[in-house]
Amino acid sequence: MLDIKFVRENKEIVKENIKKKFQDEKLSLVDEVISLDEKARQLKQQGDNLRQERNKISDEIGILFRDKKTYEANNKKQEVVEINNQLENIEKEENELSEQIKEKMMVIPNIIDGSVPIGKDDSENVEIEKFGEPFVPSYEIPHHSDICEKLNGLDKESAGRTSGNGFYYLIGDIARLHEAMIAYARDFMINKGFTYCIPPFMIRSDVVTGVMSFAEMDAMMYKIEGEDLYLIGTSEHSMIGKFKGQIIDEKELPIAMTSYSPCFRKEVGSHGLEERGLYRVHQFEKQEMVVLCKPEEAMDWYNKMWSYTVEFFRSLDVPVRTLECCSGDLADLKVKSCDVEAWSPRQKKYFEVGSCSTLGDAQARRLGIRMKTENGNQFLSTLNNTVVASPRGLIAVIENNYQEDGSILIPKALQPYMGGKTKISVK
């Protein structure tokens, strides 16, 4: 959410930003917000004037009672009652205006970084750099679900009976490989200096609306019926929410955390849930990184964070590339974002395995997270990035380590988490 003062003083910049995100239907919101803000400030001034008048009259009443001028004092008291009635109406109208302003401000997108390429959707994202050499073996690589089933590692049919589409059972060494990746990702980030955390897997609605837009919430989140609780779509939601309403001494910044969680997503409007396989599912596990820092340090952290994901996948011998997300592909709270994509030798193309974002002070402003500085309390910056989300990460490892005999070589980095096992073979 933007600062209302910024919107008021930079109306054209805000409108141009909306155009860059191809959300012209929101242009009218800017003028509406400014008009409502003007009314709110006028009401505030009226209220301040009335309070000053009430204080003046109260002093006069004290003097009149002291001088035993009871009749005049009682008349003045009636004036105070009338002022209080006016103030009550003004405060009610102020609250209504404040809610209207907040509702509209929550929909106006954050100002994107000047380096973000302009484009309508993800088809116009820009490749930045490739890491590792994409390789296609001379033999055919089956669909990852066929590989896993042949290794007795996947059962979607049973999951369909217990839970429906978009769910799965991972079994045996495939399940173990999945968890090895998560455990390795945890230790990988701890070795980078991040603090490990396991957060709550459900959060309240005021945290949900603090970390994401309404459109994202409707498309992603599962609500717990009868309670003000939602299942998280990523641990970033809980991790940022941890600091809701807090004032953090700037000396404690940056705060860098890596968090594990299961993730739950409705995937409304998404395609692929009917397909066999594990690419798009309702439930998965994820190792995340979250940073809270001073605004001037945010871009340095952004570049470090996506590079950690690249380094993680390269340590598993998976070729990856980074894509700069264009303006139309950025969620409303994001200032800048890039995707990390892993190479699929079966499809002979890259697919998304992670996303890194800097959100400026948007989440901090919505959740009231500030830093204490010598110049007063200020909003800080928040960033998040995927270390690995599995089973997507699992697919990348399986395909890039698949052998002609149907076995999967286990990357050296994961072997200690697999009891020293070097290969998963068909039994």
- Is position 365 within any domain? yes
pLDDT value of position 270: 52
Do 215 and 344 fall into the same domain? yes
Q: Which of 187-191, 207-211, 218-222, 418-422 has the lowest mean pLDDT?
A: 218-222
- Is position 224 within any domain? yes
Last residue of a domain, one of 51, 77, 105: 105
Do 342 and 404 fall into the same domain? yes
Whether residue 327 contacts residue 117, with contact meaning beta carbons closer than 8 Å, is answered with yes
pLDDT band at 267 (very low <50, low <70, confident <90, very high): confident
Mean pLDDT of 121-142: 95
Q: What is the rounded CA–CA span in Å between residue 360 and residue 333?
A: 8
Residue 5 has pLDDT above 60, yes or no: yes
Other CB atoms within 10 Å distance of the CB of residue 105? 20
Do 221 and 310 fall into the same domain? yes
Q: Which of 16-25, 159-168, 379-388 has the lowest mean pLDDT?
A: 159-168
- Is position 110 within any domain? no
Other CB atoms within 10 Å distance of the CB of residue 145? 19
Mean pLDDT of 241-250: 97
Do 325 and 193 fall into the same domain? yes
Do 71 and 202 fall into the same domain? no
Instruction: Write out pLDDT tens, residues 207-218.
Output: 999 998 777 787
Whether residue 119 contacts residue 329, with contact meaning beta carbons closer than 8 Å, is answered with yes
Do 180 and 62 fall into the same domain? no
pLDDT value of position 71: 86
Q: What is the pTM of this model?
A: 0.90
pLDDT band at 275 (very low <50, low <70, confident <90, very high): low
**DSSP notation for 160-226:** HHHT-TT--EE-HHHHHHHHHHHHHHHHHHHTTTPEEE---SEE-HHHHHHHS-HHHHHHHPEEPTT
- Is position 114 within any domain? no
What type of residue sits at position 319?
P
Q: What is the rounded CA–CA span in Å between residue 159 and residue 176?
A: 18
- Is position 70 within any domain? yes
C-alpha closest to that of 199 among 156, 246, 231 = 231
Do 101 and 126 fall into the same domain? no
Last residue of a domain, one of 105, 130, 158: 105
Full strand arrangement of the beta sheet holding 320-324: 126-131, 320-324, 336-344, 349-358, 381-390, 283-293, 255-264, 195-197
Mean pLDDT of 105-113: 95
- Chain centre to alpha carbon of residue 58: 51
Mean pLDDT of 73-101: 90
Q: Total domain count for the chain?
A: 2
Whether residue 58 contacts residue 116, with contact meaning beta carbons closer than 8 Å, is answered with no
pLDDT value of position 269: 52
Whether residue 371 contacts residue 294, with contact meaning beta carbons closer than 8 Å, is answered with yes
Per-residue buried b or exposed e for 273-284, using 16+ beta carbons within 10 Å of the residue's own CB: eeeebbbbbbbb
Give the bridge partners for 355, in sequence order. Answer: 339
Q: What is the rounded CA–CA span in Å between residue 198 and residue 183?
A: 13
Q: What mean pLDDT is reported for the chain?
A: 93
Mean pLDDT of 122-137: 95
Last residue of a domain, one of 43, 78, 105: 105
Burial category of 234 from C-beta neighbours within 10 Å (exposed 0-12, middle 13-18, buried 19 and up)? buried
- Domain harbouring 301, CATH code: 3.30.930.10
Do 164 and 15 fall into the same domain? no
Do 347 and 272 fall into the same domain? yes
**DSSP notation for 27-56:** HHHHHHHHHHHHHHHHHHHHHHHHHHHHHH
Residue 274 has pLDDT above 60, yes or no: no
- Is position 117 within any domain? no
Do 80 and 179 fall into the same domain? no
Question: 225 is in which domain, residue-wise?
Answer: 122-424
Do 8 and 133 fall into the same domain? no
- Is position 191 within any domain? yes
Residue 268 has pLDDT above 60, yes or no: no
Distance (Å) of CA 317 to CA 83, 132, 140, 343, 385: 74, 8, 19, 10, 20
- Domain harbouring 74, CATH code: 1.10.287.40
- Is position 86 within any domain? yes
pLDDT value of position 325: 97
Instruction: Write out pLDDT tens, residues 346-360.
Output: 999 999 999 999 999
Do 91 and 180 fall into the same domain? no
